[in-house]
Amino acid sequence: MFGVWDKIVNFVKKLEYCMDIFESEIKHLRDELNKHNYNYYVLNAPTISDKEFDDMMKRLEELEAAHKEFADPLSPTMRVGSDLTQGFVQVEHERPMLSLSNTYSIGEVEDFIRRMKSALQGDSNLEIVGEMKFDGTSISIIYEHGRMMRAVTRGDGVRGDDVTVNVKTIRSIPLVLHGNDYPERFEVRGEILMPWKSFDALNKEREYNEEPLLANPRNAAAGTLKTLNPAEVSRRGLDAYFYYLLGDNLPFKTHYESLMAMKRWGFKVSDAVRVMATVEEVKQFIDYWDVERKKLEIATDGLVFKVNDFQQQRFLGSTAKSPRWAIAYKFQAEQALTKLKFVSFETGRMGVITPVANLEPVLLSGTVVKRASLHNEDIIRQLDIHDGDYVYVEKGGEIIPKIVGVDKSKRQEGSRPVEFVKNCPVCGTPLVRNEGEAAWICPNRYGCRPQITGKIEHFVGRKMMNIDGIGEETAEQLYAVGLVKNVADIYDLTDDKLTIVGRIGELTSRRILRGIEASKSVPFERVVYALSIPNVGETVAKKLAFATATMENLMNSTVEELTSIDEIGEIIAENVVAFFKEPRNQEIVRRLNAAGLQMAVSEEAKAAMSDKLAGKSIVISGVFEHHSRDEYKKMIEMNGGKNVSSISKKTDFVFAGANMGPSKLEKAKSLRIPIIGEDEFLKMIGQ
């Protein structure tokens, strides 16, 4: 009897021992990963390889999955975010988030310093801290006992959105603080930014997916932070700098001291911070950064000058809008003059020829600009651009580089206007320009290399068939060695075939084959999008797929049938019909069907479809409880309705969640447009 009991006791002891071991391994891994995140994202000085980091992360994920009792919402595994979408709750700031008074003139900065001196009469020790004015979106984060509690956007300065789930995915923001000399509870304020590199990559992806481009990193950062999908936020590579510490009874006498403490606790604080005592130093600081800021990896739109001493700050106080102890000096919009080396012409996936200005490299808002799009022949004419001209390049409000003008005084005598090419620069086919359109097109759709490889790249893209492992270079190589000459050939690839291609190793080959297999369950509407039918982007593909339900129907549709689908015009319809009339395309679709791709709308999607909202124009606004806004948009489409962005007389109703914008509400009321809530909407579509 005792023997059995002893065994049980022993077993429980062993179990406890194991649990202790797991718990300490989890703790150890979390500490290590936090440290390496900090080294990588804050210090820019990693000490281990990506692979070692990934392995540790994987081990921690496994342990956390097996031992839910040790879960922690601030574990480094939470940085990848979840796909669950949710609305944001509005919360009141503990202390209002004020703005800064602005100036574009150095003279006014001097006036500011004089004003501070005279206001602080008798206190001759005026120190001014100069720092970057980061051009992103501001954030307030509360920490308690060294752990992130809540992150809130600026909102209207009094109330903002609780975006903690998203902020947790930004790897340069500490979830758990370093050291132990931090106050029990405090607030930090800073700026969430999208570095130029992430911004350029995101826009490249959007351009490719025919989505509207983001105007500048500020909009990109603000938009991303309000994205309802934390996994997407995590993917977009945001960064953050902190510049303000607030709390009760903080143990610091100066702003500079508090910044240095924040740095010790693991926050990213700019190295550009400088304590100055004279107007001369401030002027030098401005001159220096007016040039140097162009080399930074992030966008700045100016500098901020703050009185250093907290006691002096308190004495100076604030107006309702901004503190009296600080001023922002804004830089002029950035432009650069550089020489046009030559104009090249590039053929895209759909045969469109884009003229590109190749420039003498010039530094503009943190990136070296060597190329800028000239868009089309009409723009070249408007600019009246000649060979060898000096041109003004601008990142207007820090946008993607564009040529805004020509310095004609520098034009060489006898130089000739830039001429648009007459033949495709790749295959030599004479170009065509359809009436009423700005673009010149290479009509050699099936024989022109960039059009073929472009279509292959498009087909495997994330929003289309999502075949991991085939990128731009691989697509080019697969075409060059003759393995993939059209998208159907992808489904004939085997491990043996792939590994004869120079760059493709065993692992990549396996990844590609896995991706190909998985693509067979990609929904029908994405298959339609993946085909590269001219004028058929993501939204149109969805419309066509849901309206026709099967590939066979779509292929057999006439122009009349297609134009009867909501929002499908004649040009799209003609392009679709012409595409499927081409025997080469018919053959490709036949082979894709034989390979097992989805050739019809799924039963699930069909069940969710109805015409309950047919012909209705609906504006959706606010935050919802049961589904995300994107999910509701999809439901509107699936039930035959049309999503429109702004309220007009033509709007049938406004579908409103919590916190609908006041201007929208007013407009709906003035036009007497019905406003319906979530429950009513769900009832309407029979859910």
Task: Supply the residues annotated as catalytic.
Answer: 133
Task: Pick the closer one to ligand IVH by CB: 296 or 369.
Answer: 296
Task: Pick the closer one to ligand IVH by CB: 196 or 653.
Answer: 196
**Of 188, 195, 189, the residue nearest 224 (C-alpha):** 195
Task: Pick the closer one to ligand IVH by CB: 305 or 524.
Answer: 305
Give the per-residue SS3 of 3-35. HHHHHHHHHHHHHHHHHHHHHHHHHHHHHHHHH
Task: Pick the closer one to ligand IVH by CB: 296 or 545.
Answer: 296
Taking the complex as a whole, the smallest distance from the CB of residue 306 to ligand IVH amounts, in Å, to: 7
The reply to whether 98 sits near ligand IVH by the rule CB under 6 A is yes
With contacts defined by CB under 6 A, name the span among 13-21, 97-105, 285-293, 408-416 that binds ligand IVH: 97-105
Taking the complex as a whole, the smallest distance from the CB of residue 154 to ligand IVH amounts, in Å, to: 6
Backbone angles phi, psi at 62, to 5 degrees: -65, -45
DSSP 461: S
Binders of ligand IVH among residues 303 to 322 (CB under 6 A) are 304
Residue of 131, 309, 377, 525 interacting with ligand IVH (CB under 6 A)? 131
Residue of 10, 99, 105, 521 interacting with ligand IVH (CB under 6 A)? 99
Taking the complex as a whole, the smallest distance from the CB of residue 161 to ligand IVH amounts, in Å, to: 15
Q: Binding pattern to ligand IVH, positions 548-577, x when CB under 6 A?
A: ------------------------------
Q: How far is the C-alpha of 482 from the C-alpha of 474, rounded, in Å? A: 12
The reply to whether 244 sits near ligand IVH by the rule CB under 6 A is yes
For the chain, give percent helix, strand, coil, nearest 5: 40, 20, 40
Taking the complex as a whole, the smallest distance from the CB of residue 274 to ligand IVH amounts, in Å, to: 12
Q: How far is the C-alpha of 573 from the C-alpha of 596, rounded, in Å? A: 27
Strands (E), 154-263: 159-161, 185-193, 239-246
- DSSP letter string, 100-131: --EES-HHHHHHHHHHHHHHTTT-----EEEE
Q: How far is the C-alpha of 20 from the C-alpha of 26, rounded, in Å? A: 10
* Number of residues counted as binding ligand IVH (CB under 6 A): 16
CB 398, CB 135: distance < 8 Å: yes
Taking the complex as a whole, the smallest distance from the CB of residue 199 to ligand IVH amounts, in Å, to: 17
The reply to whether 268 sits near ligand IVH by the rule CB under 6 A is no
Residue with the two structure tokens 């085939």: 470
- Give the SS3 label for residue 391: strand
Q: How far is the C-alpha of 484 from the C-alpha of 580, rounded, in Å? A: 21
The reply to whether 673 sits near ligand IVH by the rule CB under 6 A is no
**137 CB contacts (<8 Å, ≥6 apart)?**
153, 154, 191, 192, 218, 221, 222, 225
Give the per-residue SS3 of 79-101. HHCCCCCCCCCEEECCCCCCCCC
Inter-residue long-range contacts of 495-504, CB under 8 Å, 24+ positions, other chains counted: 501/474, 501/477, 502/477, 503/473, 503/474, 503/477, 504/474, 504/477
Residue of 112, 243, 267, 459 interacting with ligand IVH (CB under 6 A)? 243
- Give the nearest residue (CB) to ligand IVH: 138
* CA distance readout (Å), 328 to 125, 209, 283, 288, 492: 21, 38, 14, 16, 61
Taking the complex as a whole, the smallest distance from the CB of residue 302 to ligand IVH amounts, in Å, to: 8
The reply to whether 325 sits near ligand IVH by the rule CB under 6 A is no
The reply to whether 323 sits near ligand IVH by the rule CB under 6 A is yes
Q: Binding pattern to ligand IVH, positions 156-195, x when CB under 6 A?
A: -----------------------------------x----
The reply to whether 326 sits near ligand IVH by the rule CB under 6 A is yes
The reply to whether 133 sits near ligand IVH by the rule CB under 6 A is yes
**Rg of the chain on CA atoms, in Å:** 30
Taking the complex as a whole, the smallest distance from the CB of residue 175 to ligand IVH amounts, in Å, to: 22
Taking the complex as a whole, the smallest distance from the CB of residue 662 to ligand IVH amounts, in Å, to: 21
Taking the complex as a whole, the smallest distance from the CB of residue 147 to ligand IVH amounts, in Å, to: 24
- According to DSSP, the β-strands at 390-394 and 335-347 are antiparallel
The reply to whether 134 sits near ligand IVH by the rule CB under 6 A is yes
Task: Pick the closer one to ligand IVH by CB: 327 or 654.
Answer: 327
Task: Pick the closer one to ligand IVH by CB: 153 or 376.
Answer: 153
DSSP 334: P
Question: What is the number of residues in the chain?
Answer: 687
Residue of 113, 177, 328, 439 interacting with ligand IVH (CB under 6 A)? 328
The reply to whether 335 sits near ligand IVH by the rule CB under 6 A is no
Task: Pick the closer one to ligand IVH by CB: 269 or 528.
Answer: 269
Report the interface residues with ligand IVH, using CB under 6 A: 98-100, 131-134, 138, 154, 191, 243-244, 304, 323, 326, 328
